[in-house]
Structure 1
Amino acid sequence: MANWVRYSHSGAVGFGTLEGNTILVHGGNMFNGAQPTGERLALSDVALLTPTEPTKIIALWNNFHALAAKLNSPIPADPLYLLKAGSCLTTPGATVHRPSSYDGKVVYEGELGIVIGKTATGVSEEAAEGHIFGYTCVNDITAADIINKDATFAQWVRAKSFDGFGPFGPVVATDVDPASLTVRTILNGQERQNYPISDMVFSARQLVSRISHDMTLNPGDIICCGTSVGVGTMKEPSNAVEIVIEGIGTLSNTFVQ
């Protein structure tokens, strides 16, 4: 297994694999033929960036049996999803600020992210595994009161696309079995979410296959697998949020009012 990162160092952007607190610098293309350069950098000497630069961020709704049961929602026949704006992305460790135009509830949503590594157009479920590069941690931050503000139109994209509302990382972990993973969300030191990925309605391979029949998936694209029970409001003036997935890592950000 490898943990891939992107970083900024001495004014330049690079990428490599993270081993402990050391980055093994690579050259070429992260998704195709990356080669180690022999250079090593201390993690403390770089600024981590989002581990990929996706052309789109796809976010699932109602993809966990437990949450569907709690909300009394029927299990969907097809993946239900929206697209988040690329401008909402922010880095691991970044501080996210409340939008000046919005004074309602802002919620955390700890999620598993699928990272595409090979262009996928109309791929079968069996072939989908070959198009997945790895997995990452996502906090799908949402301005919850906006979604149903207008009774004639559910505003999912607006609610989830404010600047900073798309932190993910810190790494992309390869050779991970997603069905073995558990997502935990810790808010200000208290665990708020703890749910198994095995409870997903559509598995990672099914998501990649189904969505690739709707649109081409490009290397670096992120599919946020949806969240389960335990979503809640960030109420304090300053909120420390950690999305923890053992086998991948911990995504830490701060949300300030």
Structure 2
Amino acid sequence: MVEATAVATALWVRFDRAGQAGFGRLVGDAVEVHQGDMFAGPTATGETVALSDVALLAPTTPGKIIALWKNLRGLADKLGQTPPDEPLYLLKASSSAIGSDATIRRPSSYGGRVVFEGELGIVIGATCREATPAEAEAAIFGYTCVNDVTAADLIDKDPSFAQWARAKSFDGFGAFGPGVATGLDPSALVIKTVLNGSERQNYPVADMFFEPAELVSRLSFDMTLEPGDLIMCGTSVGVGAMREPENVVEVTIEGVGTLRNRFVQ
């Protein structure tokens, strides 16, 4: 679902139309189709398609997904944790990525709690390595809504090895979208998460220990970040299990819109 109330310079989406993937800028209820590279001077084709005539895909095809842990003061305080000295993160399988309105299904190999986590997502738009915060900010293409779904009971199932990557990498567990908003000031953004019509999360980006440009800078000293890569910035209080036979999770960020997905047991 797309409900962007603009502030963004543009909202870029990817879509499927009759089995063919495309991308473009969302304007109202239509997509202005573009060609070329979304991150490097895409050009308009002159064609416009109605949003109702296409299915939204994950807005990029990330080579890697980086997911942050303990990056929000509110959740750290609730858990009695001290602020981290550096970003704490894991890598999540890129094959977990899905877009808005896609259905997330319970993995056949797992019967425990499945938890939603509404978050801000950073999409990288230019190759970024050992970048200063200013260089990192210039390498950020835009921002998106994220549901960092987690098989919570897997993490500590084996006391000898924390299974973070497995718990977060099942197909469909990396929902993001509906698009990527460019030109937003992330410091003013608020993340709201609604489960089955009930608001569960409402917290500001300003509560992050590492704001987006600093986060990208620090991560770029660990690994090269590339166009399309997704950084899930971490979540705050209010996460919880999806217990109904069918659950609807909506993550909303003003200027980006609403990421909506069903989780089916």
Residues 1:164 and 2:183 aligned together: no
Identity of aligned residues (%): 62
Which stretches in structure 1 are left out of the alignment for 5+ residues? none
**TM-score, length-scaled by structure 1:** 0.99
User: Which residue number in structure 1 is paired with residue 94 of structure 2?
Assistant: 86
2:215 pairs with 197, 207, 210, which one?
207
- Give the counterpart of 1:193 among 195, 201, 204: 201
Is 1:8 aligned with 2:16?
A: yes
Q: How far 1:87 sits from its partner (Å)?
A: 1.3
- 1:19-30 aligned within 5 A: 19-30=27-38
Which whole-Å CA distance do the structure 2 matches of 1:51 and 1:196 have between them? Answer: 23
Matched AA of 1:35: T
Q: Select 1:115's aligned residue among 111, 123, 127.
A: 123
| Distance of 1:152 and 1:173 partners within structure 2 | 41
| Whole-Å separation in 2 of the counterparts to 1:221 and 1:52 | 8
Cα deviations by residue, 1:217-237 (Å, 9 ceiling, x for unpaired) = 000000000000001110101
Match of 1:239 in 2: 247
Compute the displacement of 1:148 (Å): 0.7
1:50 corresponds to which residue?
A: 58
Q: Distance in 1 between matches of 2:91 and 2:186?
A: 22
The ranges of structure 1 where at least 4 consecutive aligned residues each deviate by more than 4 angstroms after the TM superposition are none
User: How far apart, in 2, do the equivalents of 1:58 and 1:152 lie?
Assistant: 23
Partner residue in 1 for 2:156? 148
Q: Deviations over 1:37-83 (max 9, x none)?
A: 11100001111111001000000000011111000111100000000
Q: How many residues align?
A: 257
Q: Which amino acid letter does the alignment assign opposite residue 238 of structure 1?
A: E
CA root-mean-square deviation:
0.7
**Taking structure 2 as the reference length, what is the TM-score of the superposition?**
0.96
Distance across 2 between alignment mates of 1:19 and 1:222: 23
| Cα separation, 2, equivalents of 1:244 and 1:11 | 28
